[in-house]
Every structure is written in structure tokens, then in C-alpha cells.
Amino acid sequence: MIEFQGVEKVFSGRGGGPEVRALDGIDLSIGRGEIFGIIGRSGAGKSTLIRVVNMLERPTAGSVSVDGVDMAALDGAGLRDARRAIGMIFQHFNLLSSRTVYDNVALPLELAGLRKSEIKAKVEPLLELVGLGDKRDRYPAELSGGQKQRVGIARALSSEPKVLLCDEATSALDPETTTSILRLLADINAKLGLTIVLITHEMAVIKEICHRVAVMESGTIIERGDVFDVFTAPRHATTRSFVSSVVGAELPETLSERLVAEPVAGGNAVLRITFKGAMANTPIISQLTRRFGLDLNILHGRIDHIQDAPFGVLVVEAVGAADAVQSAISFINANNLSVEVLGHVPANLRAAG
């Protein structure tokens, strides 16, 4: 549906300073009907990337096509027509304070020259779709942040786009409202078959609704893949840092401070066991205790679901002989689970978080 080929974007430096390369050779394919997340820290280039889709930023080099149309080859009327198939919602809503909810949603249709009856036929179902049928005559100042974003979503859908671009659409919202907006986007994706591209700096947003994700850093894509695969087996250090706090892989400070790399006299190894997919239901702890005579002190853990598949992380102190611990590690690996020796702790460590 959306194809980036060798996309570069270079901005002139301020005051004659050095050029800024915001995008550096982006190759990316986004499929029809999927929810695709793009995540990165501030300055990674993610907002620039989404803005070249509808040519709000024209690439310095490379091409961007949407539904087979080369966007960079368009200008004037051709570009305006192509943009009608690409809706966009923003972090700060961009509503007109002097217009009601109904009139804000109707604005793009008015600009397109539709008759009042045609506008009504489009706007009223959209207000129902986003849960604002009873707010049609309210003004933005009378709405909550979540309601304002729902107006923005309805307005973006008014031209019946094939693609919806979301630029940090939930960043200004509280966690509960964020969840409701993300669920609305997932519902719209399912009902309308809309391709959604979602820009964020929060991995929890990616986890909530995205099918695939690309991680950006310094204008390049450093990792991409299905959300489940990226969450459960991140390859790049930046990705691991994004993922760790969301999936429970980040150790409590009270535990990490006591870990040492080398074995401690009279101490024990600390293992991180990762469960995913069908193997998440394996009763590995009881098996390790029975087979190898280990006492496993649970220090930290979390079980979650990503794309409806179970995923869990468990950090344990393995109390027992060194050869028994090594045999247990081999057994875990043989059962298609992941295990990592995080370090060693004194024998008197107790549960830390």
C-alpha cells in the first residue's frame, strides 16, 4: 500500500550551519489494511517520515508511492486529489474553535464543494462511529482531550481515505484516554479496512494495536518486524531499551545494584527465563526443581499478551550446585525457551520487586 524506496530528506542548516539529514536511505513497505507503528526517540526522523507520505515534506531523494501512485511526481490538482485518500490526525487536534463538532468534521467536505445533503450523509455516520453523535453541536472548548481527538479522527475520515496517518496522536492524552483512542483506531481498522501508520515514542502504544513496527534512530530504520517478534526478541540495543519496561524485562533497581558479573563465593546465579507463544504454558519452574534439585527464588516477573499470544519474563535466583544450574540452563534451551544468566548475587538475597 505504501512503499518507500531510498528515501532521503536533508534540511538546510540554520544560519548557514551544517545540513541535517533527517532521513537516510529509507526502504520500507507497509501492507494494505495493516496498522504499522513507527517508533523512535525525539529527532529520530519518524515525523519527517510520515510527512513525506502526503508530501507535506518532499523527499530530497528516493520515492514514495501510495496505492501505486508516485506521490513525488504529483503537483497541484493531482496532489490535492491524492491527499484526499490520505487522512491525518495530530497530537494537538488542530480543531477550529469557532466551529461546532459537526462543522469541524464537515470542513474538508465543504472545501471539496459537496452539497449540504451530501455532507450530512457523511458526517452524521462518522460522529456515531467515533462516539460523538450526542456532541455534534458542542464547541471544542466544551470537549475533553479524548473527545477532541475523536473529532480529529472523524474529520480525517470524512474524505473516505485509504490511509490514516497518526502523528503522536495520543501523546497529549492521559493513559485511560489513550487506551480508548487506540481501541477506536483498531475498530476503525477492522470495520473500514483502513491502512493506519502510527508514529509514537511509546512502545506501549505499539504493543496495544500495531501489527508490525519499525524502530528508527538517526534517520534510519534499525529494526523492523512483527510486533510479537520485535517485543520478544529485540536485536538492537535501542529496541531493547524501548521494550524492556513494557514487557517486564527491566530489572528493579534494588536487584540490579546487587548483581555482579562473576560468581560469588557461596552465592547463586540469577537467570532470566523468557516464555513466549505456546511454550508460555510450560511448567518449567516445577520441572527444574524436580529434575535438578534446585530451589528457585522468584525475584521479578511479568506475564502479558502481545497480539493475543502469551509472553512472560521471569527472573529467578537458582539455589543449588553449579553443575545442576548448568544442566537446568541446557534443559530450558532444549525446551525452546530463552534463558540468560544475568549475573550472580550473595546467597542471602531475598525477593526484590
The predicted pLDDT at position 279 comes to 67
Architecture of domain 2-246: 3-Layer(aba) Sandwich (3.40)
Q: 333-349 pLDDT, tens per residue? A: 888 788 889 998 887 65
Name all contacts of 6-12 with Cβ < 8 Å and 24+ positions apart.
Answer: 6/61, 6/62, 6/63, 7/49, 7/52, 7/59, 7/61, 7/62, 7/63, 7/64, 8/59, 8/60, 8/61, 8/62, 9/45, 9/48, 9/52, 9/57, 9/59, 9/60, 9/219, 10/60
Between CA 107 and CA 122 the distance in angstroms is 12
Please give the single-letter amino acid code of residue 292. F
- Residue extents of the structural domains in the chain: 2-246, 253-345
Q: Matching CATH topology for 2-246 and 253-345?
A: no
The predicted pLDDT at position 293 comes to 92
Please give the single-letter amino acid code of residue 25. G
Q: Name residues of the chain where pLDDT drops below 50.
A: 350-353
CA distances from 172 to 99, 175, 217, 242, 344 (A): 22, 10, 23, 19, 42
Cα 43 from chain centroid?
A: 17
Q: What global pTM score does this model have?
A: 0.84
Cβ within 8 Å of residue 128, ≥6 positions away: none
The predicted pLDDT at position 351 comes to 41
Identify the CATH number of the domain defined by range 253-345: 3.30.70.260
